[in-house]
Amino acid sequence: MTKDSKSASQGLPQKKRTRKKAPFKWTPSLIAGFSLIAAACMSMAVYVILRSRGKNPFGDKSWLFGALIGAALIVGLVLAFRERYARMSFLKKTGMWGVLFLLPWILGFVLFFMVPMAREFLFSFETIKIQPGGGLTEDLVWFENYNYLFFEDPTYIRSLVETVLEVLLYTALIIVFSLLCAILLNGKFFGRSIARAIFFIPIVMATGLMLDRVSNTEGLLMAQSQEEQVYGAAIVSKLMFSLGVGKEVVGYLANAVNDIFKVVSLSGIQILIFLAALQGIPPQLYEVAKIEGATGYQTFWKVTVVMVSPMLLTCTLYTISDLFLSSDLADTFQDVALLQGYGRSSAMSMLFLVGVLLVIAVYILPLRKAVFYYD
């Protein structure tokens, strides 16, 4: 019997085996890699200093210099971390490659989104004028642009509130409609492929002219008789009123029926995402639920909704962004920038961003707790 087995049998605490780290050594590849990285950084620093003094040593070949610096950095990193990479565990290698694949997106997000957004935020506190000879003049006015929007502009805040409320209401409607349509299309019936194509046609064919011709039903809904002939909304409203349903709920559902073309045209992508999620649910879960005696209602809430909950979060984010981008308010910023100045347009866009974040918080914070990730 070994010493470890004796100590274990006697109930004595065992000493944890610690893996000793190998001492750091300067290998030739490590030296070459760090040398390349240092040379590239120094060359870049010298180039930046020369450009700040108005000198361009490479002229039109600056792109070639940038390509050489990038290649030197990549080769230097490969040489410097080649031996360390060989000693890394599989989990660390996977994490490192994940970060490398995300790096282009992270750089693009920071350079092309975060930096312009920060600049836009600073513009909202300034009055910006374009000089005839080129360039901009920025005058700090602090909260003057926001004060104008809140207390002097009679339309923007009201339009923003209406847009936020519309997105709040339509997001829930589109998500529920998309999930129900995906469940119906996931069933086995004759002509299922044709039905799926029909639901996706509005995404392909919904040009501005066609959507206006199809969905503009305000003239038809002016009279009650026409309303009954086209959609039967009046009959449904009377029925719901007779059942004691509140006026707000009836109005919301009636507006949803009137805007059915808009709802269908905005639900195509979500239906496809939900359909893919439904087809990815293991059939064994439904078999177990059936064996346990679960009803269809219980199976829907305990299996179907739970398994598609990650896609529920994704579709909600997509729907919110799509509704805000397709709103009339999103098309006014450029006109305001030309007529009233870039500072006021920047303040409007910042308030618009606050509205977007508010709607996202209202939906995403509760949904995060309900999301279930199946491994």
3-state SS, one letter per residue, for the chain? CCHHHHHHHCCCCCCCCCCCCCCCCCCHHHHHHHHHHHHHHHHHHHHHHHHHCCCCCCHHHHHHHHHHHHHHHHHHHHHHCHHHHHHCCHHHHHHHHHHHHHHHHHHHHHHHHHHHHHHHHHHCCEEEEECCCCCEEEEECCCHHHHHHHHCCCCHHHHHHHHHHHHHHHHHHHHHHHHHHHHHHHCCCCCHHHHHHHHHHHHHHCCHHHHHHHHCCCCCCCCHHHHHHHCCHHHHHHHHHHCCCCHHHHHHHHHHHHCHHHHHHCCHHHHHHHHHHHHCCCHHHHHHHHHCCCCHHHHHHHHHHHHCHHHHHHHHHHHHHHHHHCCHHHHCHHHHHHHHCHHHHHHHHHHHHHHHHHHHHHHHHHHHHHCCCCC
Q: Quick one: tokens of 19?
A: 């893996």
Q: Do residue 289 and residue 355 come from a single domain?
A: yes
Same domain? 209 vs 317: yes
The CATH number covering residue 252 comes to 1.10.3720.10
What confidence tens digit (pLDDT) does each residue in 252-292 have? 667 776 777 778 778 888 888 898 888 888 889 889 988 98
Mean pLDDT of 179-188: 84
- Mean pLDDT for 318-341 is 83
* Residue, of 71 and 209, whose pLDDT is higher: 71
Give, in order, the Cα–Cα distances in Å from 173 to each of 144, 263, 320.
38, 8, 12
Over residues 191-202, the mean pLDDT reads 70
Quote the radius of gyration of the chain (alpha carbons, Å): 31
Of 58-62, 284-288, 296-300, 355-359, the range with the lowest mean pLDDT is: 58-62
Which residue range(s) make up the domain with 55? 26-118
Asked if residue 372 has pLDDT above 70, the reply is yes
pTM of whole model > 0.75? no
- Picking from 94, 118, 142, the residue at the C-terminal end of a domain is 118
Residue 308 and residue 168 in one domain: yes
**Mean pLDDT (whole number) for 232-243:** 66
**Domain shared by 201 and 295, yes or no:** yes
What pLDDT, on a 0 to 100 scale, did the predictor assign at position 316? 92
Question: Does 19 map to a domain?
Answer: no
Which is higher by pLDDT, 4 or 327? 327
Using alpha carbons, select from 352, 362, 365, 360 the residue that is nearest to residue 163. 352
Considering only the C-alpha atoms of the chain, give the largest distance between any 2 of them, rounded to a whole number of Å. 96
Q: Are 308 and 274 in contact (CB under 8 A)?
A: yes
Residue 360: the pLDDT is 92
Do 70 and 189 sit in the same domain of this protein? Answer: no
Residue 11 lies in a domain: no
**Residues 193 and 336 placed together within one structural domain of the fold:** yes
Provide the pLDDT for residue 222.
42
Per-residue pLDDT at 180 exceeds 80:
yes
258 and 328 both lie in a single domain: yes
37 located within any domain: yes
Q: How far is CA 208 from CA 163, 204, 259, 265, 278, in A?
A: 20, 12, 15, 11, 32
* Residue 262 counted as domain residue: yes
pLDDT value at 58 more than 80: no
Tell me: do 203 and 72 sit in the same domain. Answer: no
Whole-angstrom Cα distance, residue 334 to residue 346?
A: 10
Domain endpoint, select from 91, 118, 145: 118
Instruction: Report how many domains make up the chain.
Output: 2
Residues 161 and 68 in one domain: no
Task: Check whether residue 343 and residue 235 sit in a common domain.
Answer: yes
In a domain, 137, yes or no: no
CA 97 to chain centre: 23
- Residue 124 in any domain: the answer is no
CB 141 within 8 A of CB 125: yes
Residue 128 lies in a domain: no
Residue 169 · residue 252 · CB < 8 Å: yes
> Residue 25 pLDDT more than 60?
yes
Say yes or no to pLDDT of 232 above 50.
yes
* Mean pLDDT, the chain, integer: 77
Identify whether residues 101 and 56 lie together within a single domain.
yes
| C-alpha closest to that of 160 among 11, 349, 343 | 349
Residue 235 pLDDT = 66
Quick check: 358 pLDDT over 90? Answer: yes
Q: To the nearest whole percent, how much of the chain has pLDDT over 70?
A: 76
- Of 103, 118, 133, which marks where a domain is finished? 118
60 lies in the same domain as 109: yes
Q: With respect to residue 315, please indicate whether it lies within any of the assigned structural domains.
A: yes
CB atoms inside a 10 Å sphere around CB 324: 20
